[in-house]
Chains A and B, each alone.
Chain A
Amino acid sequence: DAGVIQSPRHEVTEMGQEVTLRCKPISGHDYLFWYRQTMMRGLELLIYFNNNVPIDDSGMPEDRFSAKMPNASFSTLKIQPSEPRDSAVYFCASRGQIDNSPLHFGNGTRLTVT
């Protein structure tokens, strides 16, 4: 299996622009997670899905952030409009249904908003 695939690897954009991050989970995994990592705040859970349904979005910082999972093999995280404080590495991760199954992370998208 190719693992969790994220695109793009790097994104540089100007403040106010829309940014869309993409994720393809491992086939057969029922859970999908979006995390944000910064030096100041560490690893933060933004939102997670089970069987394509959002379970907990309490970590989404504000209405500028939205996430969708239209099918079992694809998810997007959108920021509109973007701000410099959104600069971070965004990770997607997936796992199977069994309670102690591990998370598998993608290599992340490094977002820079100028």
Chain B
Amino acid sequence: GNSVTQMEGPVTLSEEAFLTINCTYTATGYPSLFWYVQYPGEGLQLLLKATKADDKGSNKGFEATYRKETTSFHLEKGSVQVSDSAVYFCAQGSGGSTLGRLYFGRGTQLTVWP
């Protein structure tokens, strides 16, 4: 079936620390992969995406590479800021019978301290 597994939170880091949030997926076919971010009191918003193997999505200093061989899409940032504190969701979208919907992970809460 289709699913996404991401690392359990919460993650607490000091400003300028390196961030990794792990994400793996199971899918039929070759899905598109996404990272979404949710700030307090808001809906989820797209952070970055990758649509095929070896693609790297990047935005606001965050990066993730589509690894087909390990079915992974880990999120990284070299130097986090207090303003990055939010909940991060990994998601995948497959075609076929589930065309249109995205499958989300449970979310990882990130808190960055000054």
Residues of chain A at the chain B interface (Cβ within 8 Å)? 4, 31, 33, 42-43, 45, 48, 50, 55-56, 91, 93, 95, 99-100, 102-108
Interface of chain B, helix or strand or loop or mixed? strand
- Answer whether residue B42 sits at the interface, using C-beta atoms and an 8 A cutoff: yes
Please state if B101 and A48 are interface contacts (CB–CB under 8 Å): yes
Please state if A31 and B43 are interface contacts (CB–CB under 8 Å): no
A45-B101, A95-B100, A102-B34 known; A107-B106 Cβ under 8 A: no
- Taking CB atoms, residues of chain B closer than 8 Å to A103 are 36, 44, 46, 91, 102
**A40 to nearest B CB, angstroms?**
11
Contact digits for B3-28, partner A, Cβ 8 Å, 1 yes 0 no? 00000000000000000000000000
**B54 to nearest A CB, angstroms?**
15
Please state if B46 and A106 are interface contacts (CB–CB under 8 Å): no
Contact digits for B94-109, partner A, Cβ 8 Å, 1 yes 0 no? 0100011110101100
> Roughly how many angstroms separate A95 CA and B106 CA in the complex, as a whole number?
21
Q: Indicate which residue in B41, B89, B93, B107 contacts A100 across the interface (CB closer than 8 Å).
A: B93
* A-B contact list, 19 entries, CB within 8 Å: A4-B43, A42-B104, A42-B107, A48-B100, A56-B101, A91-B43, A91-B44, A93-B43, A99-B32, A99-B93, A100-B32, A102-B46, A102-B49, A103-B91, A104-B46, A105-B45, A106-B43, A107-B43, A108-B42
- Answer whether residue B58 sits at the interface, using C-beta atoms and an 8 A cutoff: no
Please state if B100 and A31 are interface contacts (CB–CB under 8 Å): yes
> Roughly how many angstroms separate A55 CA and B95 CA in the complex, as a whole number?
14
